[in-house]
């Protein structure tokens, strides 16, 4: 297996006014030859196909759209320039980058690509690139820097995707302008690059050991991928480029394992309504289709992930990962990501952090805040210290933490309060998760197992069945009622009607069958100052009837078929479809009802089973077998103020066997306990990686990938000569 080190950064002199050695698109990392990578000609064809799809319109004010046109102009001989981007076309974006508003780092990253790789292109009006350069040299790169007088910093720096974007921007700009004083704090670019390099190395180390707190996120994986591509393309230092390419391999391996016909339709650590109710709204759609080409659905416009992947020459996908993505063999993938942290006590101020980490050392602040453990009791003293040190009590993105300020002189009291109220107030925490995904020929089922049961979890998508990008099924417990709006994307981002969970289910899964028990562990109504923490007295399912070829009901079961894929969904409580008035509520083009509401209580049991014609022969046979299967649900007692003791469940699955599960009982399959936690980092037919290991080996013989994050090496294996 040859070690494919990245080639040195190649400067492109004379393009920028202030930098004599501005960075260019870096050389390809396949120094060891092409055998282990996706065929280069195929990759170029696929990228060009995407760029052609992404450039059907010309939008001069849209930086990402312009990037697609700039790259297509470079690589497509048939392209004719669509127009010129006026010098004032990005004034609004540049003002946004200067404004210190949230997500300005996303916009700045796209502008950086223009500055570094297309500065001399005639499609850009004279003076436009100068404006971009000025904005990036004046950028506030981290929350520890000063804020210009008259501005309020509303930027969010702390989630793992923002951490890597801000560090990438600062590192690359510091590298390109080492002797230039940066406008926000006056320090030289070289100093900025050194600080950002240290943060990047920490980020790579933590992601390699613990995975992604924003697990399988079909929103924020895109935001991780785009800065990593920038580092692979433009970083001068070989170790940073190798770590970036290795991290991309891990993310793309995740997409390979968890796509059904290019649909990344699995449990997600963070997602939103538009991303889960139809996967064309998934921010990873274009990336996954571009990588694996395993769907007949079209690309969907110029999005940052697709465009920046299509233009990258430095990163090439290993063939082993592509083969995992397009494999048709049924398999199970088990993964563990994140760091387990005690939410509810008992409070012990001297409790040690796991893995040799620390709850009190400020150098770990970004790690804990990156998993949204701001108000988790072990971290509260460190949070209070940081809020004081950096004057963050009035930061708009940290407004909820103002509830801790009265206890700033008594952190132990604050710890006791947040531990007691954790089921509702720790809604943003992304704790350690064990995920389980089964993928067959025509269906995929995925769950977050026994994750924070009964607790509030903003933006968490607990489970999903996926037959293709349109035919998906999932349940959730809404915090808010259905809000009248004709905008499909409208939904509260911290536990809305389809976004996140007011209370997480206790979930178990074995192969193609899942059981999900909802039982809230905090009251439905609370006294001030916690009166905002409430929830709806029902659970519901998204079951888009229009997007199935057949739908049928049989008692508590509803069945759907899409092509040769089948899904069956059981609700213990009686469930009925809610009809929407399209004059009041957006329907996203649905003509048949899609919202299956199980009224009567917020506690419920949902069971899901998926299958295919290859296993059952016909949809009718699947329906008959599942519909007649034995199901027993036993309530463990009445709810009190909404708090439920839960249920015990037995389901005699016609495909998986007898399954039993309960709110406190173990999950058994045919009488044998099936573990639902303490998984390896990866456990599937292609990789078995121990948790916290920094070595990842992917074997799709005769192709393979060997990553060693500690040694900073990346090796890609191809077949011996004569076996290609």
The three-state (H, E, C) secondary structure of 75-115, written as one string: HCCCCCCCCCECCCCCHHHHHHHHHCCCCHHHHHHHHHHHH
DSSP state of 290: H
Coil, strand or helix: which one is 453? strand
Nearest to 315 by CA among 372, 244, 237: 244
- Per-residue pLDDT tens digits for 128-165: 999 999 999 999 999 999 999 999 999 999 999 999 99
- Per-residue pLDDT tens digits for 497-522: 999 999 999 999 999 999 999 999 99
**Whether 503 contacts 535, CB under 8 Å:** yes
| Cα–Cα distance measured from residue 425 to residue 422, given in angstroms and rounded to the nearest whole number | 5
Range from 44-58, 275-289, 380-394 carrying the lowest mean pLDDT:
275-289
| Cα–Cα distance measured from residue 341 to residue 357, given in angstroms and rounded to the nearest whole number | 12
Question: What are 528's two structure tokens?
Answer: 């001030």
Taking CA atoms, 76 is separated from 44, 238, 324, in Å, by 10, 30, 30
- Residue 346, judged by CB atoms within 10 A of its CB (0-12, 13-18, 19+), counts as exposed
Residues 318-342 have a mean pLDDT of 97
Residues 555-565 have a mean pLDDT of 98
- Residue 363, judged by CB atoms within 10 A of its CB (0-12, 13-18, 19+), counts as exposed
- Residue 79, judged by CB atoms within 10 A of its CB (0-12, 13-18, 19+), counts as middle
- Tokens 């809604």 appear where? 427
| Cα–Cα distance measured from residue 258 to residue 333, given in angstroms and rounded to the nearest whole number | 8
Query: Which H helix or E strand runs over 650?
Result: strand 647-653
- Per-residue pLDDT tens digits for 170-224: 999 999 999 999 999 999 999 999 999 999 999 999 999 999 999 999 999 999 9
Taking CA atoms, 116 is separated from 134, 315, 569, in Å, by 13, 17, 51
Question: Could you tell me the pLDDT band of residue 280, with boundaries at 50, 70 and 90?
Answer: confident
Range from 269-278, 485-494, 635-644, 673-682 carrying the lowest mean pLDDT:
485-494
Torsion (CA) 624, 628, 630, 633 in degrees, nearest 10: 100
- Per-residue pLDDT tens digits for 571-592: 999 999 999 999 999 999 999 9
**Whether 479 contacts 535, CB under 8 Å:** yes
| Per-residue pLDDT, 723 | 59
Residues 587-612 have a mean pLDDT of 97
CA-based torsion, 238, 240, 245, 250: positive or negative? positive
- Per-residue pLDDT tens digits for 78-124: 999 999 999 999 999 999 999 999 999 999 999 999 999 999 999 99
- Residue 310, judged by CB atoms within 10 A of its CB (0-12, 13-18, 19+), counts as buried
- Tokens 């059952």 appear where? 616
In 10 A of CB 372, how many CB atoms? 23
Q: How many residues does the chain have?
A: 724
| Cα–Cα distance measured from residue 464 to residue 610, given in angstroms and rounded to the nearest whole number | 11
Question: Could you tell me the pLDDT band of residue 31, with boundaries at 50, 70 and 90?
Answer: very low
Residue 415 CA, chain-centre distance (Å), reads 30
| Per-residue pLDDT, 8 | 29
- Tokens 């210009």 appear where? 148
Taking CA atoms, 565 is separated from 295, 444, 558, 698, in Å, by 15, 9, 14, 28
Residue 30 CA, chain-centre distance (Å), reads 28
**Whether 213 contacts 432, CB under 8 Å:** no
Residues 373-388 have a mean pLDDT of 97
**DSSP calls for 486-523:** S-TT---TTT-SSSSBSSB-EEEEETTEEEEEE--SS-
Contacts of 715 (CB under 8 A, 6+ apart): 1, 2, 3, 4, 705, 706, 707
Question: Could you tell me the pLDDT band of residue 34, with boundaries at 50, 70 and 90?
Answer: low
| Per-residue pLDDT, 722 | 61
Q: At what angle do helices 285-292 and 238-257 cross, to 10 degrees?
A: 90
Question: What are 262's two structure tokens?
Answer: 């290019």
Residues 374-399 have a mean pLDDT of 96
Question: Could you tell me the pLDDT band of residue 400, with boundaries at 50, 70 and 90?
Answer: confident
In 10 A of CB 618, how many CB atoms? 11
Question: What are 234's two structure tokens?
Answer: 């433009």
Residue 332 bridge partners (DSSP)? 438
């Amino acid at each position: 297996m040859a070690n494919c080190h990245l080639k040195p950064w190649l400067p492109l002199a004379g393009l920028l006014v202030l930098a004599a050695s501005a960075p260019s698109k870096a050389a390809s990392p396949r120094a060891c030859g092409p055998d282990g990578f996706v065929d280069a000609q195929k990759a170029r064809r696929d990228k060009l196909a995407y760029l052609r799809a992404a450039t059907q319109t010309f939008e001069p004010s849209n930086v990402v759209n312009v990037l697609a046109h700039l790259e297509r102009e470079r690589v497509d001989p048939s392209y004719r320039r669509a127009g010129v981007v006026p010098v004032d076309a990005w004034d609004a974006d540049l003002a946004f980058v200067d404004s210190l508003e949230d997500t300005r780092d996303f916009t700045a990253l796209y502008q950086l690509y223009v500055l570094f790789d297309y500065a001399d292109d005639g499609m850009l009006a004279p003076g436009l690139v100068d404006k971009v350069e000025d904005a990036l040299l004046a950028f506030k790169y981290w929350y520890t820097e000063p804020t210009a007088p008259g501005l309020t910093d509303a930027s969010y720096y702390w989630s793992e995707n923002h951490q890597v974007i801000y560090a990438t921007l600062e590192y690359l700009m510091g590298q390109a302008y080492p002797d230039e004083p940066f406008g926000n704090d006056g320090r030289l670019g070289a100093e900025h690059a050194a600080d950002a390099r240290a943060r990047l190395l920490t980020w790579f180390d933590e992601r390699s050991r613990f995975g992604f707190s924003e697990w399988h996120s079909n929103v924020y994986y895109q935001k991780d991928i785009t800065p990593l591509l920038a580092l692979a393309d433009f970083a001068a230092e070989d170790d940073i480029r190798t770590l970036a390419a290795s991290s991309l391999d891990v993310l793309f391996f995740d997409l390979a394992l968890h796509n059904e016909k290019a649909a990344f339709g699995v449990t997600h650590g963070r997602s939103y309504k538009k991303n889960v109710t139809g996967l064309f709204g998934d921010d990873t759609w274009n990336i996954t289709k571009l990588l694996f080409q395993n769907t007949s659905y079209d690309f969907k416009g110029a999005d940052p992930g697709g465009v920046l992947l299509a233009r990258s020459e430095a990163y090439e996908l290993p063939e082993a990962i592509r083969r995992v993505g397009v494999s048709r063999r049924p398999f199970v993938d088990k993964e563990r990501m994140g760091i387990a942290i005690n939410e509810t006590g008992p409070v012990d101020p001297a409790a040690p952090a796991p893995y040799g980490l620390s709850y009190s050392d400020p150098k770990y602040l970004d790690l804990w805040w990156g998993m949204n453990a701001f108000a988790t009791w072990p971290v509260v003293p460190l949070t209070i210290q940081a809020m004081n040190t950096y004057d963050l009590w009035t930061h708009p993105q940290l407004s909820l933490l103002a509830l801790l300020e009265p206890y700033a002189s008594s952190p132990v009291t604050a710890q006791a309060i947040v531990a007691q109220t954790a089921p509702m107030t720790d809604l943003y925490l992304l704790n350690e998760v064990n995920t389980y995904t089964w993928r067959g020929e025509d269906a995929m089922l995925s769950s977050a197992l026994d994750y924070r049961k009964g607790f509030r979890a903003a933006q968490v998508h607990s489970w999903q069945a996926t037959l293709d990008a349109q035919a998906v099924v999932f349940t959730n417990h809404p915090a808010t009622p259905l809000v009248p709006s004709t905008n499909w994307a409208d939904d509260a981002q911290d536990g809305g009607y389809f976004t996140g969970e007011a209370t997480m289910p206790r979930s178990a899964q074995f192969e193609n069958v899942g059981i999900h028990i909802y039982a809230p562990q905090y009251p439905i109504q609370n006294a001030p100052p916690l009166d905002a923490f409430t929830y709806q007295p029902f659970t519901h399912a998204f079951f888009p009837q229009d997007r199935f070829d057949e739908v049928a009901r049989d008692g508590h079961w509803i069945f759907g078929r899409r092509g040769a894929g089948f899904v069956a969904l059981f609700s213990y409580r009686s469930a009925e479809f809610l009809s929407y008035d399209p004059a009041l509520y957006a329907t996203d083009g649905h003509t048949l009802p899609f919202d299956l509401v199980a009224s009567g209580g917020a506690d419920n049991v949902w069971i899901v089973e998926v299958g295919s014609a290859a296993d059952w022969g016909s949809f009718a046979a699947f329906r008959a077998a599942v519909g007649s299967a034995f199901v027993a649900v036993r309530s463990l007692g009445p709810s009190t103020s909404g708090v439920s003791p839960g249920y015990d469940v037995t389901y005699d699955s016609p495909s998986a066997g007898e399954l039993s599960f309960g709110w406190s009982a173990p999950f058994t399959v045919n009488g044998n306990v099936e573990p639902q936690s303490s998984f390896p980092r990866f456990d599937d037919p292609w990789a078995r990686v121990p948790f916290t290991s920094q070595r990842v080996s992917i074997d799709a013989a005769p192709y393979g990938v060997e990553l060693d994050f500690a040694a900073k090496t990346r090796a890609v294996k191809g077949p011996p000569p004569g076996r290609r």
